[in-house]
Amino acid sequence: MARNYFPEVKGKIKYGGPDSKDPLTFKWYRAKRKVGGKTMEEHLKFAVCYWHTFKGTGADPFGGGVYERPWDQADTPMGVAEDTVQAAFEFFKKLGVPYWCFHDRDIAPEGDSIRESAKNLDAIVQIAKKKQKETGVKLLWGTANVFSHARYVHGAGTNPDPLVFAHAAAQIRRAIDATITLGGRGYVFWGGREGYVSLINTNMKQEREQLAALLTMARDYGRKSGFKGTFFIEPKPKEPSTHQYDFDSATCLGFLTEFDLLDDFALNVEANHATLATHTFEHELLTASNAGKLGSLDINRGDMTVGWDTDQFAMDLKECTQAMLIILNQRGLRHGGLNFDAKVRRSSFDTVDLFHAHIGGMDTFARALLIADRMKRDGALSDFIKDRYKGYRSGIGRKILSGKTSLPALEAYATKNGEPEKISGRQEMLENILNDYVHSTKIV
Amino acid sequence: MARNYFPEVKGKIKYGGPDSKDPLTFKWYRAKRKVGGKTMEEHLKFAVCYWHTFKGTGADPFGGGVYERPWDQADTPMGVAEDTVQAAFEFFKKLGVPYWCFHDRDIAPEGDSIRESAKNLDAIVQIAKKKQKETGVKLLWGTANVFSHARYVHGAGTNPDPLVFAHAAAQIRRAIDATITLGGRGYVFWGGREGYVSLINTNMKQEREQLAALLTMARDYGRKSGFKGTFFIEPKPKEPSTHQYDFDSATCLGFLTEFDLLDDFALNVEANHATLATHTFEHELLTASNAGKLGSLDINRGDMTVGWDTDQFAMDLKECTQAMLIILNQRGLRHGGLNFDAKVRRSSFDTVDLFHAHIGGMDTFARALLIADRMKRDGALSDFIKDRYKGYRSGIGRKILSGKTSLPALEAYATKNGEPEKISGRQEMLENILNDYVHSTKIV
Amino acid sequence: MARNYFPEVKGKIKYGGPDSKDPLTFKWYRAKRKVGGKTMEEHLKFAVCYWHTFKGTGADPFGGGVYERPWDQADTPMGVAEDTVQAAFEFFKKLGVPYWCFHDRDIAPEGDSIRESAKNLDAIVQIAKKKQKETGVKLLWGTANVFSHARYVHGAGTNPDPLVFAHAAAQIRRAIDATITLGGRGYVFWGGREGYVSLINTNMKQEREQLAALLTMARDYGRKSGFKGTFFIEPKPKEPSTHQYDFDSATCLGFLTEFDLLDDFALNVEANHATLATHTFEHELLTASNAGKLGSLDINRGDMTVGWDTDQFAMDLKECTQAMLIILNQRGLRHGGLNFDAKVRRSSFDTVDLFHAHIGGMDTFARALLIADRMKRDGALSDFIKDRYKGYRSGIGRKILSGKTSLPALEAYATKNGEPEKISGRQEMLENILNDYVHSTKIV
Amino acid sequence: MARNYFPEVKGKIKYGGPDSKDPLTFKWYRAKRKVGGKTMEEHLKFAVCYWHTFKGTGADPFGGGVYERPWDQADTPMGVAEDTVQAAFEFFKKLGVPYWCFHDRDIAPEGDSIRESAKNLDAIVQIAKKKQKETGVKLLWGTANVFSHARYVHGAGTNPDPLVFAHAAAQIRRAIDATITLGGRGYVFWGGREGYVSLINTNMKQEREQLAALLTMARDYGRKSGFKGTFFIEPKPKEPSTHQYDFDSATCLGFLTEFDLLDDFALNVEANHATLATHTFEHELLTASNAGKLGSLDINRGDMTVGWDTDQFAMDLKECTQAMLIILNQRGLRHGGLNFDAKVRRSSFDTVDLFHAHIGGMDTFARALLIADRMKRDGALSDFIKDRYKGYRSGIGRKILSGKTSLPALEAYATKNGEPEKISGRQEMLENILNDYVHSTKIV
């Protein structure tokens, strides 16, 4: 009989409704509730991330680990790994999330050799597979941690030493295998060391080519191995490196196009990475979605008054509503979902804090879904926008978009039609409308 | 006989050498000095910008214009325009710069109709052409100001109203004509309003398509009209808009690729825009150069402690040296040059301040050229980098770059070769070396 | 009979309730509604600012004015000033705000001499006084614009030229007179030019002393003239200057202490200035309030993705709730209120946009008041905090705060009591609770 | 005979002069060289910091330690501590620095009890004392690390639990003892956890009072124990906390004044902390110096394109020159010096990189001293500034500063004297002059 790692939560977190005073109930999230023909669970493919939730220690640049997790007490690394997988699935089950996500080194310890590392990984994958079957929890995506080990200081795919590249390739190969074994819908690349600390000793041109070579090989290997899901690139502008080649959505789309990877790849867009790039989350999501490449989301939030990745849990209902609107407008996420790349604050020592955090995030997105669905049905904002650009659906506007006019012809048109009217963009009125939706007392 | 607008400077600014105590002499810039087979003048195709230098008023968001320029006293807008062109060429001549740059509305006032505006522009262009011939000063590039007029509040090419698009097209058509007439080597697009203030009322997807349509038509018109130079896009992340579609070099390269404009366009990279995008100038220049698309530079500097475009004169010798190294490494700028998109501080009321500012900028770049040339000859930094990546010039590294290996093959390679050596990136030593060059007492 | 400047709004904006679909009604603000013993109007002493709302032109650094206001059409500056005052009071009345705010140069044009400027100001003040009586609208505070005129380029009180200081003194004297005449409850200093652009030509030490001298004289003059209200300093870190001496709340409190001005001065804290200083609004408000010096608020919001003052209307319900909690906790604002230092976006051309914007801001704060009141009554968050620090209310904690212990005594205490327990800060749970309040469906 | 930890450097680093090609020689720093009556060594009281240089592991938020230091190999923590102290003094000696700095936990490991920790510390202090005597290297300042241990997650002095406060007090007591024993000239407080992560669970008002109580007790204890040096506060705005109470120089000065600590405390100003607060280093130094409270410097540099403390070695000659000018103008640092709070990049694996880094920093400051000295002698910039404010040294200006005039009197003065002249601030010319000094070829 499995050990109970979260005794403070007896069974599955229940739906208590908006007025519930029990902090360990959902106020808005109800998995089977139908919204626009699909259940909340289908809309909101929440995944718990293994790294922050089970492997996070609370260490920061000015202090070491501070958590004492019950699953972290075994004598051997593999013992810890086995206990952790038990704890993780207990957590998934009690929380009621449909998916999880991992890095290879989160679930299984690095061994003394590539072979041993692969063996460790395989052993845990087999246990996880059993737990998946047992619980019904599925894998959203897997990935390889090719940034923490000392050998990756100068980069993994972008390392000046081909031997390091080869080690990264070895890890990625096995992580793809693990993802396939566990039925993962996606495979993610986040390149924390794929950038530079200083240009003073860097060949940026070649490093980008190296990175493309790595992604190409991974794609080829994955496809050959039967992976039918989507490869995701996760943009981030900086940290730990000074500049990361996957700076933002636009940069990643340019990279994928340049190196002919667009067919197999989509973007995994993270809120906190958006703001680190001085964008809004909405901007990054929309940039990806407009290109048909919004594949998955890392849901969290940053703190705009500080300059590093805080990975806090998503709590801003307006921002989450904008995210859900974009997702509804593109009719969902094919292979992706909403991965909680978020961690409790260092001072949230207790395991129950993990529940508070995830419940808050799930409730925020559940309500955001309800609001976004209603806005979509009402044509709120979208009708205004549609009307605003109507001039491009016929006449000269249509000619402009279809390339059937010219500068001289347009000069003639402008001369004939004279000065355009000044039409208000009505930003304040629209902001009021959005606020009315987001703060409606009627979403029940 | 022409009026003397700058009596404080009698003739041409002279070269006084590093020890000169006269602030109105060059310490380092000597047009005809040979550096690596070309003259300084050929390396450093300095251009004075018309807008800041002759049309700048000192207005800022909290106060109006404060300068009283002698060329701004005529009774009519066209009178002012004519006086200004005289003053401008006097300044170019006294400063000894080979090039200038303009927006259509800098040199000629907007009229009551498209026709009148075109007539005004044409009249001034004829005068400028004569002055060019008279002085030998040439046009680096022209552009159209499609951001200041009230009709462009919601954008020019990206306006929701096609009639505004048509007005922008009309202006651009005539600005291209003017550029051709004046023998301009480039034509620039800077899209200050080509972005959004808020996504709440914006169709970002279509706006980018509109912008591409505008650039395509401009390219077609220019080529048809015999323009042989380069079209430039100038990246800027924000200001005046909240987000501009030409965010940074990477974004612009992606845009040009997506809309098939790469053959005719290159980038005009500005230092202050780089830092507003949280990049270094070096990063933006190198990103463009690596793609073969570094066409021209707007030389200035920003202030990293504030969040807006300060457009100060370039004064950082290390940063300018890095810029010159990139330019030397790509063997110069074909159609572009070094345009001073810089303005004196609001409190620098006097016309002599314009000389101090440009002299400082020219001296900084002249010395930067000398240092960069010496670094290039010495292989400083570059030899280190070349050596650092040598593993990719043969063996497994070469296979990686040429796509002739695979994840399993690399796993085997890594297994066989074991853990890589940890090789220092020597960043601090290289920084010392760079400092030794930049602060050398020997550059004479 | 007065001209109707806002025909799109027939009478006073009505309360329509949360479900109203009419954008020109209040959803939450009802002036006479009682909240905790006081009316909404008493809690929320809203003031409309004259500068943005009636004098704003839509100009920005890349384009000139774009609005065509009906009150801006008269032939003479004084004619415009008279029309504007009529329009302003029509707007105050229709909107239903109890207060207004002004700079001297907003309401009356600068004349050709100090005497004429004073005469202009006086004439308009007499009209405004009559309008105040007629409408019941009161003056929250007045101030002098000593930053826009060219003479203030190098500062007003901090100008290197004492003659400029004297001009500022002259203006401030008359602005204080006007404030007294109009029964203003406060007088504000915002020092847009009281800082430096560069330290290269600045004597920072003396400039701060000059500024203190100016404030001291103003205080003395005001008190002598019978002013019983509060003098406010408005912190702002930068813009237009590179560094302003009134950087943030903490800096201003230090300044007031250093120059012995604390008795007569309090702070006027602005949301957007807080974020420009990389603080939260809550932090700045609380810093002032903890010192007993939170006097008044400039309510607006900034955009954290850009680096300048955007002065948008307050729309973030959570942020406004935090502000209202601090105000309730200090039992209101004695002489201050909530001044809308906010402007419609440049593209919001129409006068009706002014109504949309203010209605949105008022509704947001009205709801924030309701939520904050409920949180206060429930002890939400505050009970947790009180409990968290309970150790300081007795025993060793009490000794620490009262200075009755020492390092050796504490070492002995720690040795005896051993390692402290790790107690979770429960940040995520508290964030959920705050979200539950802010997004409650029950606030009716 | 002591083990040789740095075999790559045979003896003391030599002065090679500006043209030396040996990267392990000084180009500018010569300890005994006289500059304005004092030796370089006396001007530039360089200290090597123990934490980064000997205890730094290269860990960052995305990867663990990567260095393998020869002094880190012993079997027990005390064994490592003993080896490290040997290595450290070998390094100090070979580098030729006169001072060092430490945290208690850098030099001796935390024990199982307060008593054991104190014992460990004392043992190492005795060794260090011997090494100091042996080598002539002195202690600049000591401090206690009350931020890394898990008990300090919620703060040390600002912890909600008085028992944690007591533990901090215990540590600080012993760190002060150690500092006295080792003849330290200063004792530093840097409060990495003395702030908040979120206001949601924080009593900011009381926390600031707690912090003041701690500093007061430390001051009292130190003075009672015979400490004659200066207590320093080191401002930092954020990281690891979201907001630190010692935000910047102005905030710290306000705090010291408020809690009556100004007599015994001065500031230890760090370059990277200045820029994290969106200030320049020069601004922070000058703010402290103007108040007579610039006590010591942490010399390093940040990276303005990222938002965290990078603690790179100082390399910007202009910035360092400005720092040295301020130091010369206040006639030196009484108890403080120039502490290298800087670390080599994570990828600089080798011990020789520690030499490159420190040599670069020392050379930069040595040259900065030479330039600053010359500028001071020439009255460069300062004469201009003096002249610029001359109006305040007599007449109305003098009256303003001495409080002998009033608003009405100044109005009369302004009326009589009319509009002031617009005098250029000559910023560009002064920047050129500064550049001429900083890049002079003549500083030999």
- Tally the residues of chain D: 444
Structural tokens at position D6: 């740095």
d(CA C431, CA A70): 26
Residue-wise pLDDT for A16-71, tens only, equals 999 999 999 999 999 999 999 999 999 999 999 999 999 999 999 999 999 999 99
C195, containing H or E segment? strand C195-196
Distances (CA, A) of C235 to A304, C36, C188, D257: 20, 31, 11, 20
Distances (CA, A) of B189 to B233, B246, D74: 5, 10, 64
Mutate to test the interface with C, among A52, A428, A432, A441 (most CBs of C within 10 A): A428
Per-residue pLDDT, B431: 98
Per-residue pLDDT, A444: 63
Residue-wise pLDDT for C110-146, tens only, equals 999 999 999 999 999 999 999 999 999 999 999 999 9
- The helix/strand/coil state of A344 is coil
Residue-wise pLDDT for C277-316, tens only, equals 999 999 999 999 999 999 999 999 999 999 999 999 999 9
Structural tokens at position D69: 């230091």
A406, containing H or E segment? none
Q: Which of residues 394-423 of B touch D (CB under 8 A)?
A: 422-423
Cis peptide before B240 (omega within 30 of 0): yes
Mutate to test the interface with C, among B52, B57, B62 (most CBs of C within 10 A): B62
Q: How far is C166 from chain A (nearest CA, A)?
A: 39
C197·B345 Cβ contact <8 A = yes
Arithmetic mean of pLDDT, A110-118 = 98
Q: Is C345 on the interface with A (CB under 8 A)?
A: yes
Q: Is D349 on the interface with B (CB under 8 A)?
A: yes
Residue-wise pLDDT for B269-319, tens only, equals 999 999 999 999 999 999 999 999 999 999 999 999 999 999 999 999 999
Per-residue pLDDT, A443: 73
pLDDT at D3 over 90: no
Residues from chain A contacting residue B113 (CB–CB below 8 Å): 415
- The helix/strand/coil state of C41 is helix
Cβ atoms of D269 and D294 closer than 8 Å: yes
C425·A27 Cβ contact <8 A = no
Arithmetic mean of pLDDT, A333-353 = 97
Amino acid found at D187 = Y
Confidence of residue B443 (pLDDT cuts 50, 70, 90): confident
Contacts of C314 (CB under 8 A, 6+ apart): C271, C299, C300, C301, C320, C342, C361, C364, C365
Nearest CB to A427; choose among C348, C431, C441: C348
Arithmetic mean of pLDDT, B15-27 = 96
Residue-averaged pLDDT of chain B? 97
Interface pTM (ipTM) of the complex? 0.97
- B238 phi-psi bin (left φ>0, alpha ψ -120 to 50, beta other): beta
Q: Is B62 on the interface with A (CB under 8 A)?
A: no
Residue-wise pLDDT for A371-417, tens only, equals 999 999 999 999 999 999 999 999 999 999 999 999 999 999 999 99
Residue for token pair 């997004």: C439
Amino acid found at D437 = Y
pLDDT at D2 over 80: no
Arithmetic mean of pLDDT, C209-236 = 98
pLDDT at C384 over 50: yes
Q: Which of residues 186-245 of B touch D (CB under 8 A)?
A: none
Confidence of residue B2 (pLDDT cuts 50, 70, 90): low
Distances (CA, A) of C368 to C10, C321, C322, D307: 28, 4, 8, 32
pLDDT at D328 over 70: yes
Contacts of D264 (CB under 8 A, 6+ apart): D219, D223, D230, D231
pLDDT at C1 over 50: no
Residue-wise pLDDT for A216-268, tens only, equals 999 999 999 999 999 999 999 999 999 999 999 999 999 999 999 999 999 99
D439 is catalytic: no
CATH architecture of A14-378: Alpha-Beta Barrel (3.20)
Selecting among D83, D104, D106, D248, the annotated active-site residue is: D106
Burial of A359-391, coded b for 16+ CB within 10 Å and e otherwise, reads bbbbbbbbbbbbbbbbbbeeebbeebbeebbeb
Per-residue pLDDT, B330: 98
Q: Dump the DSSP string for C294-322.
A: EEEEE--B--TTSBS---BPP--HHHHHH
Arithmetic mean of pLDDT, B219-246 = 98
Structural tokens at position D235: 């401002």
Burial of B98-115, coded b for 16+ CB within 10 Å and e otherwise, reads bbbbbbbbbbbbbeeebe
Cα torsion at A89, A191, A358, D197 (round to 10°)?
A: 130
Cβ atoms of D296 and D339 closer than 8 Å: yes
Mutate to test the interface with B, among A113, A151, A152, A163 (most CBs of B within 10 A): A163
Per-residue pLDDT, D444: 64
pLDDT at B441 over 90: no
pLDDT at D376 over 80: yes
Structural tokens at position D46: 């360089």
Arithmetic mean of pLDDT, C227-231 = 98
Per-residue pLDDT, A356: 98
d(CA D255, CA D270): 18
The structural domains of chain C, with segments of one domain joined by +, span: 14-378, 382-438
A317, containing H or E segment? helix A317-329
Active site amino acids of A? 103, 106
Confidence of residue B444 (pLDDT cuts 50, 70, 90): low
Report the DSSP pairing between strands D38-39 and A34-35.
Answer: unpaired
Enumerate neighbours of C (3 or more CB pairs within 8 A).
A, B, D
Arithmetic mean of pLDDT, B356-361 = 98
Per-residue pLDDT, D408: 98
Per-residue pLDDT, A1: 45
Residue-wise pLDDT for C152-176, tens only, equals 999 999 999 999 999 999 999 999 9
Residue-wise pLDDT for A148-193, tens only, equals 999 999 999 999 999 999 999 999 999 999 999 999 999 999 999 9
C347·A442 Cβ contact <8 A = no
pLDDT at B1 over 70: no
B201·A426 Cβ contact <8 A = yes
Per-residue pLDDT, B146: 98
Per-residue pLDDT, C444: 63
